[in-house]
Structure 1
Amino acid sequence: MKELFVLLKQGNKSAFLAAIVNTVIAIIKGVAYGFTGNVAMFAETLHSLGDAANQFFVFIGSALSKKAPTPRFPNGFGRLVNLVLLGAVLIVGIMSFETVKEGFHHIIHPTKSTGLLINLSVLLLSVILESFVLFKAAKEIAHETGINEKGVMLLIKSIGSLKRAKPATKLVFMEDTVATLGGILAIVSILLSHFTPFHQAEGIASVIIGLMMFIVVGRVFLDNAAGVLGESDEEMKQKIGDMIINDPDVKDIQDISVIKEGETLHVEVEIEVDPLITVAKADVIKDRLEEAIRQEKGVADVIVEFDEDDGIKQWTEKNETKENS
């Protein structure tokens, strides 16, 4: 039990905060839907409920993925967060289906809802809270990817750096982006339905919110399926390779792989060195390179192997091929 609490302290903080906020929002929206029967509010209730459950599982998964390797699982638990996220998207997928189904039902059989002030107050509060969590997730992405921006530019840069963010942070950012946009869309649809005869607006908003949730489900599923299989980080591979080749004792790089293990990176590199160096010299080179590679953000495990220099510059050829392609 003590180990579990230690691991939970290392869980993704953005996911934990988002889970708490979305639980509160889901309860408030559910109460509002019970009073008003508004279909857009129903969609938003399911959306927030799905997000809360999803992000709670993500927090648990991100924490357990940091468990130290055991004799039974010597490679560690890094990919556990990917497995948890694959399971979590099923929850959002079910909520998405129910949201779209209810929306189509309201489009075919439109009804005028009541409780305008209640609906608008609840949705406005939820948009404010979701925006707060969204900016927190954007700051987390900035911390993970080295962005130094503030305000609107922070959000813009975070979207561009989303691919390099940790799986849990990425999920929170995407879900709260959809949640914020969904809240705004629900507000617009309620106003249209109340002040015009276009009562189908709430059903259309519900369908759009459900489809946006499906987009998140698809993106998260594909990203984490790749993570479970073992996805290569090509950008970090290039960065580490360029750093290694500049070492004065490294003649060439025979092979290098940088594999994502959940929220961390596993690096294996085979370098070519002068065949006349001593074992002691090779050990110094190995320690120096391992220390330098571990300084890169996210790197948790490094293996350096040696081969004798064959006089063929493979790493340079790879770079030139990449630049010319």
Structure 2
Amino acid sequence: MKEFLLLLKKGNKSALLAAIVNAVIAIIKGIGFSMTGNVALFAETMHSAADTANQLFVFSGSALSKKAPTDRFPNGFGRLVNLVLLGAVLIVGIMAYETIVEGIHHIIHPTHSSGLTITLVILAASTVLESFVLYKAMKEINHELGIQPTGFAVVTQAMANMGKAKPATKLVFLEDTVATLGGLLAMAAVIIAYFTPFHQAEGIASVIIGLLMFMVVGKVFLDNAAGVIGESDEEMEDKIGEMVMNDPDVKDIQALTVVKEGEDLHVELEIELDPSLTVAQADDIKDRLEEKIMQENGVTDVIIELDEDDGIQKWAEDHKKSDLIEK
């Protein structure tokens, strides 16, 4: 039990904050829907409930993935966060389906909702809270990447680097982006349905919110399926490769792979050295490179193999071919 509580302290803070805020929002929206019968408010209630459950899964998975390797699982639990997220998106998918079905029903059989003021107050307050959580997720993305922008640059930098964020933080960012947009859309639909004869607006908003939820499901599923299989990080491979090749004692790189396992990066490197070096000298080079690579963000372990220089520049040639293919 003590170990479990210690692991929870290492869980993704953005996911925990998002889960707490969304739980409060879901309860408020649910009460509002029971009082008004507003379909757009129902869609937002389902959305917030799905986000709450999802982000609790995310928090738990990110915490448990920090568990140290055991004899039974010597490679650790890094990919557990990917597995948990694959399960979590099923919840969002079910909620999205229910939201779309209810929206279609309201489009076919439109009704006039009551309680304009209370509906707008609830949606406005919820949207403000969602945008707060979204901003915190943006700051977390920047923090994970070691950058500290100020002002509006927090938003632009987070959006530009979202793909590099940890799986849990990325999910919170995507969900709360959709939640914020969904809140604004729902408010617009409520106003249109109340002041015009176009009562189907709420149903249309519900369908759009459900489709946006499905977009998050698709994105998160594809990202984490790749993580479960073991996806390489090409950008980090290039960065580490350049760092290693700049070392004066390294003649060439035979092989380099950087594999993502959840939030961790595992590096395997095979380098060529001058065959005249002593074992002690080669070992010092290996230790120096391990220390440098371990300083990179997200790298948790490094395996380096040594080989003698064969006089053929494999790394430079391979990268020259890759650049030509990209061009």
The verdict on a shared fold, with TM-score over 0.5 as the criterion, is: yes
> Paired residue for 1:23?
23
> Paired residue for 2:54?
54
> Paired residue for 1:139?
139
> Paired residue for 1:304?
304
Cα distance between partner residues in 1 of 2:151 and 2:203:
33
> Paired residue for 1:148?
148
> Paired residue for 1:126?
126
1:33 positional shift: 0.2
1:157 positional shift: 2.1
* One-letter identity of the residue aligned with 2:51: D
> Paired residue for 1:71?
71
Cα distance between partner residues in 1 of 2:241 and 2:41:
52
Q: Secondary structure at the match of 1:243?
A: helix
Cα distance between partner residues in 2 of 1:279 and 1:150:
49
Cα distance between partner residues in 2 of 1:207 and 1:297:
40
Q: Structure 1 stretch 279-288 or stretch 218-227: which is displaced more?
A: 279-288
Q: Secondary structure at the match of 1:78?
A: coil
* One-letter identity of the residue aligned with 2:229: L
Q: Secondary structure at the match of 1:66?
A: coil
> Paired residue for 2:171?
171
Q: CA offsets per residue over residues 250-298 of structure 1, 9 Å max, x none?
A: 1000000000010010000000011121111111111100000000000
* One-letter identity of the residue aligned with 1:259: V
> Paired residue for 1:249?
249
* One-letter identity of the residue aligned with 1:33: F
Q: Secondary structure at the match of 2:258?
A: strand
1:316 positional shift: 1.0
Cα distance between partner residues in 2 of 1:301 and 1:222:
25
* One-letter identity of the residue aligned with 2:63: A
Gaps of 5+ in 1: none
Cα distance between partner residues in 2 of 1:61 and 1:310:
45
> Paired residue for 2:112?
112
1:193 positional shift: 0.3
Q: Structure 1 stretch 274-283 or stretch 109-118: which is displaced more?
A: 274-283
* One-letter identity of the residue aligned with 2:126: S
1:114 positional shift: 0.3
Cα distance between partner residues in 2 of 1:201 and 1:219:
27
* One-letter identity of the residue aligned with 1:292: K
Gaps of 5+ in 2: none
> Paired residue for 1:237?
237
Cα distance between partner residues in 1 of 2:311 and 2:147:
40
Cα distance between partner residues in 2 of 1:151 and 1:96:
34
1:315 positional shift: 1.1
Cα distance between partner residues in 2 of 1:119 and 1:186:
10
RMSD: 0.8
Q: CA offsets per residue over residues 90-127 of structure 1, 9 Å max, x none?
A: 00000000000000000000000000011000000000
Q: Secondary structure at the match of 1:251?
A: strand
Q: Structure 1 stretch 250-259 or stretch 147-156: which is displaced more?
A: 147-156
* One-letter identity of the residue aligned with 2:305: E
Q: CA offsets per residue over residues 169-189 of structure 1, 9 Å max, x none?
A: 000000000000000000000
Cα distance between partner residues in 1 of 2:83 and 2:240:
28
Query: Does residue 192 in structure 1 map to residue 192 in structure 2?
Result: yes
Q: CA offsets per residue over residues 150-203 of structure 1, 9 Å max, x none?
A: 343322221221111000000000000000000000000000000000000000
* One-letter identity of the residue aligned with 2:102: E
Cα distance between partner residues in 2 of 1:62 and 1:299:
16
* One-letter identity of the residue aligned with 1:269: L
> Paired residue for 2:225?
225
Q: Secondary structure at the match of 1:71?
A: coil
Cα distance between partner residues in 2 of 1:295 and 1:14:
24
* One-letter identity of the residue aligned with 1:288: R
Percent identity for Structure 1 against Structure 2: 69
1:68 positional shift: 0.2
Cα distance between partner residues in 2 of 1:190 and 1:157:
33
> Paired residue for 2:320?
320
> TM-score if structure 1 supplies the norm length?
0.99
> Paired residue for 1:283?
283
